[in-house]
Amino acid sequence: MNRLTYAPDLIEEAVLLAERSAAPSDVRGFRRERDRIYEIADAEVREASFRTLHLGCFARLRLDGVIEQVMREHPDIVGRLQACRVVRALTRQEEGADLVDAIAPGDGRGQPILVLRLRSTTIVEPDTLRALLRHELMHVADMLDPTFGYERTLPSSNDGPSSETILRDRYRVLWDTTIDGRLVRAGLSGGSTRDARWREFAAAFAMLGERGPTAFERWFAEPRPGHAEIVRFATAPLGVAGGRDTSRCPLCRFPVATLDSRAERAPEPLLTAIREQHPTWHAEDGLCPQCFDLYEARYGHECSNVAG
């Protein structure tokens, strides 16, 4: 990798945040220099002077230290990049890492560029930043590993956007689970990581029921995951683990993240109405919230005691 660059607006925000906990003498010197720059009449010169001042403070305060440390932990990544650009993220959801294809003059595609999107509040919190970067750079390492076989686009579905959204969420949860498992085993992540990841896995794969913990441990312990394998499990988790399919409503067959549990507490008139149109259905099979609301509306006069 030839260079590591930072967006000026991110540098400025991080420096101003870090200033709050800096030594009073450093703060006074910084403020005097900023006040002097404000007196520069030429707008371009003034802006360039601010950038130089903030960059110098950024380096002096070692706000780039954690980023450089975690990058050094991945020589396999660094050696395959053209550059790394650290840019500003507006929200926590935007934070992360991605690869951007670069075009090399004369010979088509060159080495990719790593883009790190970070908030200034994260940069001034070393432990938070370190944990985030270690997780995100494991994603990048997998993306660059030919044996992982990463493909940016997941398979499309004939069931429409909702089904594809569910697949993306399951894929993300599985991939994150394998990454955190590797980080924990390497001593680079704390024990609380497993519990947090299990809760997310259990929500995304509720259809596995009692088989969920075994499936989770299998993915958390996976040493060398592959893209195709993750897609296969995310698409049809019951094809591997077995069990009742709760990824679709048994009435309308529409893809859902979870089924509505109100059916098991519904009064008998509503259940009877459903079974008249779906004879093989049982309350424990569940149904989607839309179907439940539809039957409740149609038979509300008989189901005034339905649990909310």
Query: Could you count the other beta carbons within 10 Å of the beta carbon of residue 42?
Result: 9
* Gap between the Cα atoms of 247 and 74, Å rounded: 38
Using CA atoms, how far apart are residues 48 and 60, in angstroms rounded to an integer? Answer: 18
Q: Where are the domains of the chain?
A: 4-144, 161-241, 248-308
pLDDT of residue 307: 43
- Do you know the residue count of the chain? 308
Distance from C-alpha of 125 to C-alpha of 120, rounded to nearest angstrom: 9
> 221 phi and psi, to 5 degrees?
-95, 0
Q: How far is CA 72 from the centre of its chain?
A: 23
Q: What is the DSSP letter of 243?
A: S
pLDDT of residue 305: 46
**DSSP element (H, E) containing 96:** strand 96-100
Residue 306 has what pLDDT?
Answer: 42
Contacts with 142 (C-beta within 8 Å, 6 or more apart), sequence order? 148, 150, 175, 179, 225, 227
pLDDT in tens, the chain (308 residues): 558 999 999 999 999 999 888 777 777 888 888 899 999 999 999 999 999 999 999 999 999 999 999 999 999 899 899 999 999 999 999 999 999 986 555 544 678 999 999 999 999 999 999 999 999 999 999 999 999 999 999 988 666 677 788 889 999 999 999 999 999 999 998 878 999 999 999 999 988 888 899 999 999 999 989 999 999 999 888 765 445 566 678 888 776 767 777 877 888 888 888 888 887 788 877 888 888 888 888 876 555 544 44
Instruction: Give phi and psi for 114, each to the nearest 5.
Output: -90, 130
Question: DSSP secondary structure string, 206-247?
Answer: GGGGGGHHHHHHHHHT-SS--HHHHHHHHH-HHHHH-S---S
Q: Which residues 6+ apart lie within 8 Å of 4 measured at CB?
A: 64, 67, 68, 71, 83, 84, 86
How far is residue 306's CA from residue 260's CA, in Å, rounded to a whole number? 13
Q: What is the predicted pLDDT for the residue at 103? A: 58
Residue type for position 266: A
CATH of 4-144 given 2.40.50, 3.30.310, 3.30.2010, 3.30.60:
3.30.2010
* CA–CA distance, 67 with 72 (Å, rounded to integer): 9
Q: What pLDDT score does 300 carry?
A: 61
Q: Is the pTM of this model over 0.95?
A: no
3-state secondary structure at position 114 = strand
Sheet of 113-118, strand order: 4-6, 83-88, 113-118, 96-100
